[in-house]
Amino acid sequence: MKLTVIGATGRVGQHVVSGLLERKVGPVTALVRDPAKAERLFGDAAGLTIRPGHLDDPRELSEALSGTQALFIAMGSIGDEAVLQRIMINAASRVDSIEQVTRLSVLNASRDSRGINQRGHYSIDRFAESTGVPYSTIRPTIFSASMLSAAGEIRASRTWTGLADSGRVALIDHRDVAEAGVRVLADRALWNSHHALTGPELMTWPEALGLLSAEIGERVTFQTIPARDLLEGMIGRGIPAGMAELLIAREWAILAGENDYATDVFAQITGHEPRPVTEFLRDFRDEFI
């Protein structure tokens, strides 16, 4: 089976590419805007073609996707990335060889979620349905790697400033998200469905910081401030306004309990348990010290 990955240089996409190659699912094309970055990540891996492209050009996309049977898309749900995802899905729906588009979405993707990300992904799903393209998503909960966004603050002050001091999440490792994506692409029985993925253990942000404290041997605490101050602080640090709003809304969704459940879908798909948060923290501990 010939595969194409878009978002191949991102956090999840890069592990999807390497997982597809390791499992020899088929030849993989990474369609990227920055081929130098892709070459740094993948070298000259056997079975991989790095193809530079303009992802907003439908004709270029059609040419690039011609002959591909399965396409994986791992990009953001708001702003330009949301526009690009629609252009790609539309282009894929017109390519005869495409048998499946699998997209990285999010847990609770729905019209009514408090999360901007969830509503954004829902809207892309609606668009995909309208094109008639054969379509599936993986819908992971919040990544353990989200804690890396606080690494600078944690290194400087041993605190993490947010809103959600309650509300649990079964954080999932982004490498597990990618593995689930690879399994879906490789197994036609998993096509044309939505796969809700979580990690193994529900916890609050303060509890996750308790695990980090144990890992690095120093106490890290969660502190809350008014939402307006958090938003302005993020924008002041250079986070684009749309992403800052998305992150604030993510906290509201957590506080509302939207993520307070775990699924066994990852184990069903892969045949093994997802990584615990402690494994992520051990592997990435240097980022926090």
Ligand X SMILES: NC(=O)c1ccc[n+]([C@@H]2O[C@H](COP(=O)([O-])OP(=O)(O)OC[C@H]3O[C@@H](n4cnc5c(N)ncnc54)[C@H](OP(=O)(O)O)[C@@H]3O)[C@@H](O)[C@H]2O)c1
E-state strands within the chain = 3-6, 28-32, 48-52, 70-73, 100-104, 135-140, 159-162, 194-197, 221-224
Q: Is 142 in the site for ligand X (CB under 6 A)?
A: yes
What angle, rounded to 10 degrees, do the helices at 241-255 and 227-236 form? 150
Q: Is 137 in the site for ligand X (CB under 6 A)?
A: no
Residues linked to residue 32 through DSSP beta bridges, in sequence order = 52
Distance separating alpha carbons of residues 234 and 248, to the nearest angstrom: 10
Distance separating alpha carbons of residues 267 and 273, to the nearest angstrom: 5
Q: Is 33 in the site for ligand X (CB under 6 A)?
A: yes
Note whether 117 and 246 are within 8 A (CB).
yes
271: left (phi over 0), alpha (psi -120 to 50) or beta: left
Distance separating alpha carbons of residues 182 and 72, to the nearest angstrom: 9
Q: Is 124 in the site for ligand X (CB under 6 A)?
A: no
Contact with ligand X (CB under 6 A) among 11, 86, 158, 194: 11
Residue 142 phi/psi, 5-degree rounding, is: -65, 140
Contact with ligand X (CB under 6 A) among 50, 64, 106, 164: 106
Q: C-beta of 34: minimal distance to ligand X in Å?
A: 4
Which one of the spans 74-82, 88-96, 230-238, 264-272 is the region binding ligand X (CB under 6 A)?
A: 74-82
Contact with ligand X (CB under 6 A) among 57, 80, 264, 273: 80
Closest-CA residue to 120 (of 147, 84, 149, 92): 84
**Other Cβ atoms within 10 Å of 68 Cβ, number:** 24
> Which residues ranging from 50 to 69 are in contact with ligand X (CB under 6 A)?
55
Contact with ligand X (CB under 6 A) among 39, 81, 201, 245: 81
Contact with ligand X (CB under 6 A) among 2, 37, 51, 158: 37
Q: Is 10 in the site for ligand X (CB under 6 A)?
A: yes
Which one of the spans 60-68, 72-80, 150-158, 188-196 is the region binding ligand X (CB under 6 A)?
A: 72-80
Q: Is 136 in the site for ligand X (CB under 6 A)?
A: no
DSSP 8-state class, residue 274: P
Q: C-beta of 126: minimal distance to ligand X in Å?
A: 15
Q: Is 9 in the site for ligand X (CB under 6 A)?
A: yes
Contact with ligand X (CB under 6 A) among 3, 5, 7, 180: 7
Q: Is 208 in the site for ligand X (CB under 6 A)?
A: no
- Interacting residues toward ligand X by CB under 6 A: 7, 9-13, 33-34, 37, 55, 74-77, 80-81, 84, 104, 106, 117, 140, 142-143, 146
